[in-house]
Amino acid sequence: MIKIAHLAKRFAVENPKKLSEQEKKDPRLKGRYFHSVKDVSFSCNQGQVLGLLGPNGAGKTTTLRMLSTALKPDHGEIAIQGVNVVEKPLVARQKIGFLSGSTGLYGRLTGRENITYFGQLHGMQADAIEQRIAYLADLLELHSFLDRRCESFSTGMKQRTAIARAVVHSPEVVILDEPTTGLDIMAAQTVHTFIRQLKEQGTPVIFSTHHLDEVSELCDQVTVIDAGVTRFNNSLSAFKALSPGSMHQAFLNTLQQGA
């Protein structure tokens, strides 16, 4: 289970005078600090998929980076399978599979070498890494390019390899930041299948997306963040009930309520 309560994170602004007019009008800008996340709370139980929604700049990626231990929150609590992420980030990190917005693959290494390297970082033995790669290669359809250098990969190849690398250690929770952005229909469908497989295994999954059809197809829970604040946090059916027949209008309704 993943539980987040009242997260907050601010960043210092080096030179406020260089901000654009739009940035200066953002209510989260307070003096020399930009409060990217002000008050975000949600939870995701075993076997659930939670879709994290919000306009660009809402604070979704900052929230996920705090959840993954990449950033330390200024306030709030994060618990993963009962482990306090803020107090024990190294312990929590072993339980997390995190795919950031950038794949970050080492271009001169093959896909297999990238995945193997991260397995080694997690303390896995060679045989266990080999077996895990074979399983993920089947699930994510990696076989045709797994032993090529990543610098030659298409966007879809990079994304699928990055997902395999993120979950090579069989994490207890999986966090995906816009995993299907830039993918064609077939590559996106492979990612969807993978998310369903995780759900069947009882693994909690949180993923951010701008595609509401993905939310409708995959999610049990929906959380909407706007201007660094949770505007909606409930079941998919409750989200759809905000505007029956139109997921887009349901999303807009949550933003208007917080305006």
pLDDT for residue 256 is more than 90: no
71 pLDDT band, cuts 50/70/90, is: very high
Give the span between the Cα atoms of 45 and 178, in whole angstroms: 20
Exposure string over 152-165, b if 16+ CB within 10 A, otherwise e: ebeebbbbbbbbbb
In this structure, the answer to whether residues 90 and 120 fall within a common structural domain is no
The reply to whether 67 and 179 lie within a common domain is yes
Residues 151 and 125 in one domain: yes
Q: Of the ranges 11-20, 66-75, 238-247, which one carries the lowest mean pLDDT score?
A: 11-20
- Shared domain for 30 and 140, answered yes or no, is no
- Confidence (pLDDT) at 183: 85
Contacts of 207 (CB under 8 A, 6+ apart): 49, 50, 51, 52, 175, 176, 177, 178, 179, 195
**Per-residue confidence (pLDDT) for residue 17, from 0 to 100:** 74
* 128 and 179 together in one domain: no
- At 84, the pLDDT band (50, 70, 90 cuts) reads very high
112 Cβ contact list (under 8 Å, min separation 6): 133, 146, 147
Residue 258: pLDDT over 90: no
**Burial group, residue 86, by CB count within 10 angstroms (0-12, 13-18, 19+):** middle
| Burial of 201: CB neighbours in 10 Å, binned 0-12, 13-18, 19+ | exposed
Q: Which of 117, 136, 170 is the last residue of a domain?
A: 170
In angstroms, the Cα distances linking 254 to 52, 78, 203, 224 are 13, 24, 28, 7
* pLDDT attached to residue 103: 67
Quickly state the pLDDT bin for 97 (edges 50, 70, 90). very high
215 touches 247 (CB < 8 A): yes
Average of per-residue pLDDT across 101-111: 86
Same domain membership, residue 145 and residue 82 = no
Residues 24, 89, single domain; the answer is yes
Count of the separate structural domains present in the chain:
2
Task: Give the domain CATH number at 198.
Answer: 3.40.50.300
Which pLDDT belongs to residue 53? 97
Which residue(s) pair with 149 in the sheet? 110
Residue 259 pLDDT: 55
pLDDT digits (tens, 9 = 90+) for 9-44: 999 988 877 777 777 888 899 888 999 999 999 999
**DSSP secondary structure, 151-191, as one string:** GG--HHHHHHHHHHHHTTT--SEEEEESTTTT--HHHHHHH
pLDDT number for residue 40? 97
Same-domain pairing of 30 and 136: no
Together in a domain, 87 and 195:
yes
Q: Side-chain half-sphere of 54: how many Cα atoms within 13 Å? A: 28
**Judgement on whether residues 114 and 7 belong to the same structural domain of the protein:** no
Residue 159's contacts (CB-CB under 8 Å, 6 or more residues apart) are 103, 179, 180, 182, 183, 187, 191
Closest listed residue to residue 151, CA positions, set 186, 118, 110: 110
Residue 17 and residue 117 share a domain: no
Same domain for 143 and 17, yes or no, is no
Domain with 110 in it:
103-170
Last residue in a domain, options 170, 201, 226: 170
Mean pLDDT of 188-214: 93
